[in-house]
Every structure is written in C-alpha cells, then in structure tokens.
C-alpha cells in the first residue's frame, strides 16, 4: 500500500498546534492535541460589489486604500463634460468633498487619503495637457511643483513625498518619460523602453510596474522599475489598454478590465514571476480607476469606467482565503 512518505519522500510532520493557513498550503501535518491529520487549501480570489459613485464617469484618478480612497475627476465623453468632482470612500459609500482645482481626466495619482498627489491630465477639448500637480491633505488641495512634461494617462505610483509619473500621451505624441517627486519638485530620470499611454500602474517609486497600454495599439508588454531604470518584465496573458491596476511593489500586482479592443472584465495577478488569470470583475469596462501604487494587491478597488455607457459601479477585490481542513476517512 502506498504511504505518504513513499509518495512525497518525507514523513508527515507532527505539530503541537496548527501553522498559519497561508504558510501551510500544500502541506500535511498531524496535530497531536487534536489527534487529527490536517492540511490547508487556498480559495479563489474574487470581486465583490461596493458602494456606487455619486457621479458616473470614466478615466478618473484614484489613490488611497480600499477603506479610505479618493477618486478625482473623470469624464463622460470625448467632448465632456469633464469633472472636477472629488469623492472619498470609507469602505462602504462615496461622499463628495472639495473639488479638484480644475476639471481633469486621465490624471496620474499616488498616496493616501490624507496625503495624496494628483498630476498631469487633460480637460474638455481643446484644453491643453497639464503639467499641474496638487497635493491633498484629506480636506483641501494645494498647488505643488509641476511636471516637466505635460501629458495624461500616465502610470502613477508611490507616495506624496516619493511619487512616480511615467509614460503617458499628449496626442499625437506618446511618451516614455519618467519623473520622480520628492515632496517639492519633479526630476526627470531614466526613461522607459516603450513609449505609450493608458498603461496600468503598480507599486512605489523604487519598485513599480507599467502594464499593457497603447504602445502603439493594444499591448501586453510590462516594464519593471527598480528606482533607477526600467527593464522588461513578464507579459500580461491578455493584451489590453485603459486597464486599472494596483499593488504595493513590482513583484505583487493586479491588473483588471480595459479594452482588448472590446471591453473586458479579465483580472490578472502577478507574483513576481508570471501573470495568472484570477476572478473576473462583474462588469467589464475601460478606464476603470484602481488604487495604483502603495496599497497592496490583496485589497484593491475598480471604480467607474466605460462599458460603453459610463459607470458608477465600485467593485472590491478580496484576496484568496486560506482554510485549514481535517482529513476524514468517511
């Protein structure tokens, strides 16, 4: 008769208490006090419905955490209107707060609800592309140092005192420009390899990802930033543009929704080595705002977007749950 040691090459470990469920995935152990053989399994991650925005819109910019987020600007069509609306999320519902200093769509952002940063963007045509940058303290907006290159649909990552603005567009020009913010001013640093906008941004100033986008056309390319230079990273499973993204570093990210060119609800998770398709959004869309950098990929938001109608929907990502099970013979 086959034995566990014969199959696995090791004996079942005896433990006086259970390890954490996430650490024990893929292992079997014997819990002495419980007189039970146990194992751990990983459930599937999934999106759940959250509170709706007060104003449906596409291409807004978002920062913060799943229970303390800020969503600013956006539009409902190429010729507008474009919005200066700002809403805050408490994990349950959105509340309108002080407007952004100007109407804005496609801006970059990073930071937290009480220390946020929004930069660049555009407004109702023929409005120019912006270099403006504004800091948020949880109540009001204050003008800060301007970007060196005006553009929209950038990758935004980092914090209010260590921000990252990369890539982007100012039609008909596509950029691979990278700028870093030190809390006072922006400095142009090493450029990315591929020019283009509408890329999903993930991470912080020293550890970021730029995924998909228009480079030109719909792309599955991913670039990784280490605080000095960009390098090629594993490609997305599904090429897309105008996707949302989030995650705390360049080794743990989430990319969702976008256009392929039809709108999609596909979500992919990155573990530092490869992208894996996980639970789909309930609603497909392009231009859905995600939390971007800093906030972990285990707790993200997907807000607003186009489907092609403009959405007020919010969805909350719940990371896979781990559960300890007991082996039974019945």
pTM of the shown model: 0.86
Statement: residue 199 has pLDDT above 90: yes
What domains are there in the chain, each with its CATH number? 4-42 (no CATH), 46-318 (2.120.10.80)
Phi, psi of 256 (to 5 degrees): -145, 155
> What residues contact 241, with CB distance under 8 A and at least 6 apart?
198, 199, 212, 213, 214, 218, 219, 258, 259, 260, 261, 286
Statement: residue 314 has pLDDT above 80: yes
Q: How many percent of the chain have pLDDT more than 90?
A: 73
- The β-bridge partners of 124 are none
Please give the pLDDT value at position 296.
73
Do residues 24 and 324 touch, judged by C-beta distance below 8 A?
yes
> What residues contact 220, with CB distance under 8 A and at least 6 apart?
212, 235, 236, 237, 238, 239, 240
Say what the alpha-carbon torsion angle 163, 78, 301, 309 is, to the nearest 10 degrees.
180
Q: Out of 8-17, 105-114, 304-313, which region has the weakest mean confidence (pLDDT)? A: 8-17
Statement: residue 309 has pLDDT above 90: no
How would residue 294 be classed by pLDDT, with cut points 50, 70 and 90? low
Tokens representing residue 235 in the block: 């490609």
Phi, psi of 20 (to 5 degrees): -65, 145
> What residues contact 262, with CB distance under 8 A and at least 6 apart?
none
Distance in angstroms (rounded) separating the CA atoms of residues 61 and 70: 8
Provide the mean pLDDT of the chain.
Answer: 90
Do residues 40 and 21 touch, judged by C-beta distance below 8 A?
yes
- What is the helix (H) or strand (E) element at residue 209, kind and residue range? strand 207-211
How would residue 21 be classed by pLDDT, with cut points 50, 70 and 90? low
Q: How many distinct helices (H) and strands (E) make up the chain?
A: 1, 29
- What is the helix (H) or strand (E) element at residue 8, kind and residue range? helix 4-8
Please give the pLDDT value at position 204.
95
| pLDDT tens for each residue of 90-116 | 999 999 999 999 999 999 999 999 999
Please compute the mean of the pLDDT values over residues 302-307 and round it to a whole number. 94
Please give the pLDDT value at position 105.
95
Please compute the mean of the pLDDT values over residues 16-28 and round it to a whole number. 74
């Amino acid at each position: 008769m086959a034995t566990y040691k014969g199959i696995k090459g090791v004996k079942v470990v005896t433990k006086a208490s259970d390890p954490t469920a996430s650490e024990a995935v893929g292992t079997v152990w014997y819990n002495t006090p419980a007189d039970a053989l146990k194992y751990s399994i990983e459930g599937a991650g999934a999106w759940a419905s959250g509170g709706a925005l007060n104003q449906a819109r596409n291409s807004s910019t978002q920062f913060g955490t799943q229970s303390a987020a800020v969503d600013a600007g956006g539009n409902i069509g190429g010729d507008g209107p474009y919005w200066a609306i700002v809403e805050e999320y408490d994990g349950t519902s959105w509340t309108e707060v002080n407007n952004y200093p100007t109407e804005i769509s496609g801006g970059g952002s990073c930071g937290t609800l009480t220390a946020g940063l929004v930069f660049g963007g555009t407004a109702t045509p023929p409005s120019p592309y912006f270099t403006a940058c504004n800091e948020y303290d949880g109540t009001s907006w204050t003008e800060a140092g301007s970007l060196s290159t005006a553009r929209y649909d950038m990758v935004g990552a980092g914090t209010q005192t260590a921000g990252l603005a990369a890539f982007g567009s100012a039609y008909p020009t596509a950029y691979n420009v990278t700028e870093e913010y030190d809390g006072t001013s922006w400095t142009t640093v090493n450029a990315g390899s591929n020019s283009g906008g509408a890329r999903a941004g993930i991470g912080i100033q020293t550890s970021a990802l730029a995924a998909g986008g228009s480079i030109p056309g719909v792309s599955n390319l991913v670039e990784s930033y280490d605080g000095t230079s960009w390098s090629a990273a594993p490609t997305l499973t599904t090429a897309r543009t105008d996707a949302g993204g989030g995650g705390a570093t360049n080794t743990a990210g989430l990319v969702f929704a976008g256009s392929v060119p039809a709108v999609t609800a596909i979500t992919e998770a990155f573990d530092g080595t490869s992208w894996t398709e996980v639970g789909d959004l309930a609603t497909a869309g392009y231009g859905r705002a995600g939390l971007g950098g800093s906030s972990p990929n285990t707790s993200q938001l997907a807000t607003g977007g186009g489907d092609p109608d403009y959405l007020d929907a919010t969805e909350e990502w719940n990371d896979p749950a781990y559960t300890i099970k007991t082996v039974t013979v019945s």
